[in-house]
Structure 1
């Protein structure tokens, strides 16, 4: 087994996700006792999650204000009082690094209203917040603050393996500007972290020795992307990469976008835009409720599926539409497939399934092209992690379309990457070899 890095007393990993972000840490002397933040609360409905929404709010003076649920709630309250003009709310901006080939200091990211700011500034603010949140929480504990200084911390920042070298270097520079010392910082590929964690805990995947000496695939299904990777666990418990990670924008965010797009087609673009712009709090609540509801939807679900909406949304429809819902449903041939009652909409499961099928089908087809390679013909086991892997529909589709493979989803799959990144920081040589692409000499200009 690889030896621990003796220079640091604590390793903290930041999982900077498209939809949610969080961190985990452990001490050198208790490496498997990995702690995560005790929970991020939405402050309204009692929803507590192990990660916070990747959402950043800036003041009209272009200063950082808040992150996560606090940022969403503050902007919502400002919007409710029509005081949000000039405030900037950035959501799910990590996807910029998936789509942008030529990054520089002039590259911008837009907020929810289309206002642009330098991407390096927004990423730096977000990482600085996560670091500050961690330091504040850990160092306020007297038994820790007395023997630990920031020099004793190794920082690990997770990045998708499918990103370009430029995007990975961009994240490193943003992290350094955020106050993470370069000598204390390591980047960890998300699917590598997932495989490290999964194969570190035998009870999550059965007989871990079945993975030794044979290739296995990791599918990291996050909010924005699917990251797919093939490696092998060697006899010395290190990992050898067999296939350079690939993937695409097939995460859970695509399902949310399909849901909103479908609502827009039914209620009208004007209504949905007014709802989003003028009633931001209710709009976020709708998406949060949909996030929870979509996890329980499966391929076996039949009949109507109910989602909580907002009465304000229906009021906006009444005020801005020349027709009524009953007529629109009838003219759209949706009689019996869609029903509205109070603050709920019930949609036939066949329609809901289409919101999932587009990204999942594309991901599965990509997986099949990898598995069809002659050099990967021995891949029998597939580990699936990431927040989107908690969806029952994802489970069902993978098991149905990849029947000849053993699909394994560990406990708390949404935390597998951040926990594995902590292990990676503790054991710097745990990945013994990778398939390497040429890396350019990169520096932001």
Structure 2
């Protein structure tokens, strides 16, 4: 995509590709005040998000349905047991395969998680194209469209690369490295959305606020300071964890498994997935999870009739569990303590995240804003309010919290430079070589020619970096009359590192230079620098003496 193409962008589209639900918003650049959040989906109208779910054919090659249509929630929609048992199980939670989660969600052997992401973005892309063409028939799709895609805060650096490849294969980009696609983190987008409500809460320049984006899979936090020109400064490292609302669903299934047997529950999931979905969505979410506020005086025990919500479960229950269930006529009572025990392991992790984030900053926090679908949980809001009300004067949920991410991402795309700086999540540096020193250096690190490789730090984790800030060093060649060299760029979550083969140390990329007849020696030092842009890191090597640039390359910045 050349410079002329970039100038010809007419439409901005923000995509919140979520773990459990996804959504998009769009705006014409000529009317930036008219942001539209999509609420029209296959099989459902009126919701700002659709399930991140796919239903394939039996070979998992072709997508039959996606979103709401992919989830068979009503058991009576299935013609017979044989049809249900042979119907492919919907594919969900595949986004979590990018994360560092040890126990990855189920995927069929025939399907790679990248293919699932690509397939979902393809289906969403078709809907986006149809929506844009209906609204603005003269706009060329995707040539005159720019996408802003949001990603979780704590996910590994290769996330942006994977999502870019999937977006390209899904037909959203004209080329793999197109400038049509930008990334921002989910909490950063949420913070930008909260700019729209700061006047409601009388926040002023220099005030700091914390945003907790509580979604289905992840919870991401960021702390920002409001600047005089309505820009944002990041005041501490953004953090996140896998403790979204779907983990409460898991706790419910754990509770149920203790009653009927985990093996029986697993067979129900394998053979009658629609009934499992019906049980979670129609019973647990609708009747319990969405309403629970933690007040025992307002809670009345709810009866769960298993034969009504999952009629095929009893055939898999055996032994003592079967005897107990037959005595109770397959009815379980869900009492207050049981529900609170489903919520607390998840909510406690969110409380800890917020507490740690507040303690990591020297700034006084003026407000906590909860956004995302899970932020509408009365119990979560109650616990956050009770825990932090004496330290933080404002604790609020902005209007339409479920759409906060896509709205904030649109703001990010409309106003370049609105993010003034970020706090580095990683320590960055390069691999250098020096003479091995006896009694100082480990013998196993000595090379055959008596040298040792070590990590040279350029930018340390935790420091505040302005957009386009440069970190540099001056380096000499390893050998005299050398006309080529390479700079290996590494990153690590550690604040201090010594060597490039330490645990958690990863190679970001390599910049190779050829000096074209200028022999590198003590009179021709090289200046190597890393420049941190909004979305990328630029590595540059130049002749320190003449200023001539030998080579430059771009690496994705893990934002």
TM norm structure 1: 0.83
In 2, the alpha carbon distance for the partners of 1:237 and 1:250 equals: 31
Tell me what 2:268 maps to. 275
Among residues 216, 236, 257, which one is paired with 1:223 in the alignment? 216
Q: 1:310 to 1:266 in 2, by over 3 A?
A: closer
- Which string of whole-angstrom CA distances, capped at 9 and with x for unpartnered residues, describes residues 398-439 of structure 1? 011112212111011111011111111111221111113346
Higher strand share: 2
Tell me what 1:152 maps to. 144
How far has the Cα of 1:33 moved from its partner? 1.8
In 1, the alpha carbon distance for the partners of 2:19 and 2:364 equals: 32
Q: 1:169 to 1:100 in 2, by over 3 A?
A: farther
Q: 1:20 to 1:309 in 2, by over 3 A?
A: farther
Tell me what 1:197 maps to. 193
In 2, the alpha carbon distance for the partners of 1:69 and 1:310 equals: 24
Q: 1:146 to 1:355 in 2, by over 3 A?
A: same
How far has the Cα of 1:249 moved from its partner? 1.0
Tell me what 2:88 maps to. 87
In 2, the alpha carbon distance for the partners of 1:309 and 1:413 equals: 33
Among residues 49, 58, 61, which one is paired with 1:60 in the alignment? 58
Tell me what 1:232 maps to. 225
Say yes or no: does 1:428 pair with 2:428: no
Q: 1:261 to 1:418 in 2, by over 3 A?
A: same
Q: State the secondary structure of the residue aligned to 1:223.
A: coil
Say yes or no: does 1:296 pair with 2:288: no
How far has the Cα of 1:370 moved from its partner? 2.4
In 1, the alpha carbon distance for the partners of 2:124 and 2:79 equals: 24
How far has the Cα of 1:363 moved from its partner? 1.8
Say yes or no: does 1:30 pair with 2:24: no
Tell me what 1:132 maps to. 126
- Which string of whole-angstrom CA distances, capped at 9 and with x for unpartnered residues, describes residues 302-352 of structure 1? 44342665525366326733447784699xxxxxxxx8787xx54111110
How far has the Cα of 1:380 moved from its partner? 2.9
In 2, the alpha carbon distance for the partners of 1:276 and 1:257 equals: 13
Using the TM superposition, name which of 272-281 and 10-19 deviates more: 272-281
Among residues 111, 116, 120, which one is paired with 1:117 in the alignment? 111
Contact 1:226-1:250 within 8 A present in 2 as well: yes
Tell me what 2:280 maps to. 287
Q: State the secondary structure of the residue aligned to 2:91.
A: strand
* RCO higher in structure (CA 8 A, sep ≥6): 1
- Which string of whole-angstrom CA distances, capped at 9 and with x for unpartnered residues, describes residues 100-135 of structure 1? 69xxxxxx9742xx5352222111111111111111
Using the TM superposition, name which of 82-91 and 9-18 deviates more: 82-91
Contact 1:282-1:310 within 8 A present in 2 as well: no
Say yes or no: does 1:265 pair with 2:258: yes
Tell me what 2:381 maps to. 395
Higher helix share: 1
How far has the Cα of 1:168 moved from its partner? 2.5
Using the TM superposition, name which of 251-260 and 213-222 deviates more: 213-222
Using the TM superposition, name which of 355-364 and 283-292 deviates more: 283-292
Q: State the secondary structure of the residue aligned to 1:155.
A: strand
In 2, the alpha carbon distance for the partners of 1:427 and 1:248 equals: 29
Among residues 343, 353, 369, which one is paired with 2:340 in the alignment? 353
Tell me what 1:104 maps to. none
Contact 1:110-1:117 within 8 A present in 2 as well: no
In 1, the alpha carbon distance for the partners of 2:407 and 2:301 equals: 34
Q: 1:422 to 1:260 in 2, by over 3 A?
A: same
Using the TM superposition, name which of 77-86 and 388-397 deviates more: 77-86
In 1, the alpha carbon distance for the partners of 2:312 and 2:158 equals: 47
State which structure, 1 or 2, has the greater radius of gyration over its C-alpha atoms: 2
Contact 1:57-1:65 within 8 A present in 2 as well: yes
In 1, the alpha carbon distance for the partners of 2:30 and 2:80 equals: 48
Paired residues for 1:326-405 under 5 Å: 327=324, 345-373=332-360, 375-403=361-389, 404-405=391-392
In 2, the alpha carbon distance for the partners of 1:82 and 1:22 equals: 31
Contact 2:25-2:406 within 8 A present in 1 as well: yes
How far has the Cα of 1:156 moved from its partner? 1.0
In 2, the alpha carbon distance for the partners of 1:238 and 1:307 equals: 51
In 2, the alpha carbon distance for the partners of 1:211 and 1:346 equals: 50
Q: 1:382 to 1:74 in 2, by over 3 A?
A: closer
- Structure 1: segments with no counterpart, 5+ residues: 102-107, 331-338
How far has the Cα of 1:269 moved from its partner? 1.9
Contact 1:60-1:88 within 8 A present in 2 as well: no
Tell me what 1:176 maps to. 168
Q: State the secondary structure of the residue aligned to 2:33.
A: coil
Tell me what 1:333 maps to. none
In 1, the alpha carbon distance for the partners of 2:293 and 2:73 equals: 34
Aligned-residue CA RMSD (Å): 3.0
In 1, the alpha carbon distance for the partners of 2:188 and 2:113 equals: 26
- Which string of whole-angstrom CA distances, capped at 9 and with x for unpartnered residues, describes residues 258-316 of structure 1? 00111111111233223223332222122212223312110214443426655253663
Contact 2:85-2:271 within 8 A present in 1 as well: no
